[in-house]
Structure 1
Amino acid sequence: MSDAPLRLAVIIGSTREGRVGDRLAHWFVAQASGRTEVKVEVVDLASFAFPNGYPNRATPAMSAFAASVERADAFVVVTPEYNHSFPASLKQAIDFAYDEWHAKPVGFISYGCRSAGQHAVSQLRAVFTALHAMTVRDGVGVDLLDGDDVESLLAAETPVQAAQVLLDQLCWWGLALRDGRTARPYVS
């Protein structure tokens, strides 16, 4: 069993101009900042020059993304909901890695109108199950129809408590699965 901090990657899944995902990700990083058992890395898909199509060989950007997934012990995926699903940019990036996701926990921060992004999360759970990742039960959902000021929405008690529950679950599962992978390599 390792005493090293849990390496948590917060993946910003939207690449749209004017997105809300980057603000949610940085808010979550601030929520995690008081935890000494966690080391957070933000992985912003907008900062990768991914190819438009899927090439025969991985590009440097694809390899860099897969390396960030490999380094992490756990993930928080920040996703919008577009037409009851998650963005193509996120699916493309998820598919650039495979073994790197195995036996690691994934949590979600979602946002959208009315459903707070829960349709996107539902579909992402199926995708991550196929990748042999374990999704945690609780997450953070933000309904953008509740107000124009996202920072005020996030300052409320409910999202702050939800973030702490999400961190608790990710830390427990992340440490348990990391110890498990160390003791016995995962087989798919």
Structure 2
Amino acid sequence: MTEKMTLAVIYGSARQGRFCDTVANWLIRELSASDTFSLTIIDPARLRTSRGLGAAVNPGEWLERKIAEADAFIVVTPEYNHGYPAALKELIDSVYEPWHAKPVAFVSYGGASGGIRAVEQLRQVFGELHTVTLRDGVAFPKAWSKFDAAGNLYKPEELRAPLFLMMDRLTWWARVLKQARKSKPYNEVAA
């Protein structure tokens, strides 16, 4: 049996009443039976208040440790005003080297575009952090019309194929890059 890798699900919004919880909860339910990954949640709303991190925890140190421990990431991001949220930018920019040589996938949501403009901007940011961003992702155009009041998708079968494709490719990259990091630490490549 192969040891599980760590997958960090990153919430992209910290707004009160955010829809991010609905989309992220769907994703977490879909991934909860994974034999490949153990999940960890990184939520900028919790970091701002340190709620749920434990007593006497420095949010910056906690975040850096969680990013360092992760083998792969899925960013669940809304699109606000044709871009990604400031809370997500702050979270990303709080850490540098622990992002290196790790894959990042995206689940986006929003109006007609489904958040893809935010994802395109995030690809540029994550490129500067030496990550590998996946082409395949999941987008929810008009996301609010896709879920019922309990947070369940009206047509879950429509999103399983893109989710499974994204996860297969994320798994491949996570394994390959984890092995590469073990073989030679990324910070030694150009040293």
Same fold (TM over 0.5): yes
Corresponding position of 2:31: 32
> Is 1:122 aligned with 2:108?
no
Corresponding position of 2:8: 9
> Is 1:96 aligned with 2:125?
no
Q: Deviations over 1:115-174 (max 9, x none)?
A: 000000000000000000000111110112671635454643222222111111111100
SS of match in other structure, 1:48: helix
TM-score, with normalisation over the residues of structure 2? 0.87
- State the number of aligned residues: 180
The 8 Å contact of residues 136 and 170 in structure 1, kept in 2 or not, is answered as yes
Q: Deviations over 1:31-71 (max 9, x none)?
A: 11222111111111110127xxxxxxxx9212211111011
> Is 1:166 aligned with 2:166?
yes
RMSD: 2.1
Distance 1:154 1:107, change over 3 A: farther
Q: Which amino acid aligns with 1:156?
A: P
The 8 Å contact of residues 26 and 152 in structure 2, kept in 1 or not, is answered as no
Identity %: 39
SS of match in other structure, 1:175: helix
TM-score, with normalisation over the residues of structure 1? 0.88
Q: Which amino acid aligns with 1:7?
A: T
Corresponding position of 2:182: 182
Distance 1:185 1:148, change over 3 A: closer
> Is 1:141 aligned with 2:139?
yes
Distance 1:148 1:165, change over 3 A: closer
CA distance in 2, matches of 1:146, 1:95: 29
The gaps in structure 1 that reach 5 residues or longer are: 51-58
Equivalent in 63, 82, 86 of residue 65 of structure 1: 63
The gaps in structure 2 that reach 5 residues or longer are: 50-56
SS of match in other structure, 2:89: helix
Q: Which amino acid aligns with 1:159?
A: L
The 8 Å contact of residues 9 and 75 in structure 1, kept in 2 or not, is answered as yes
CA distance in 1, matches of 2:179, 2:154: 33
Corresponding position of 1:55: none
Deviates more, 1:167-176 or 1:125-134: 167-176
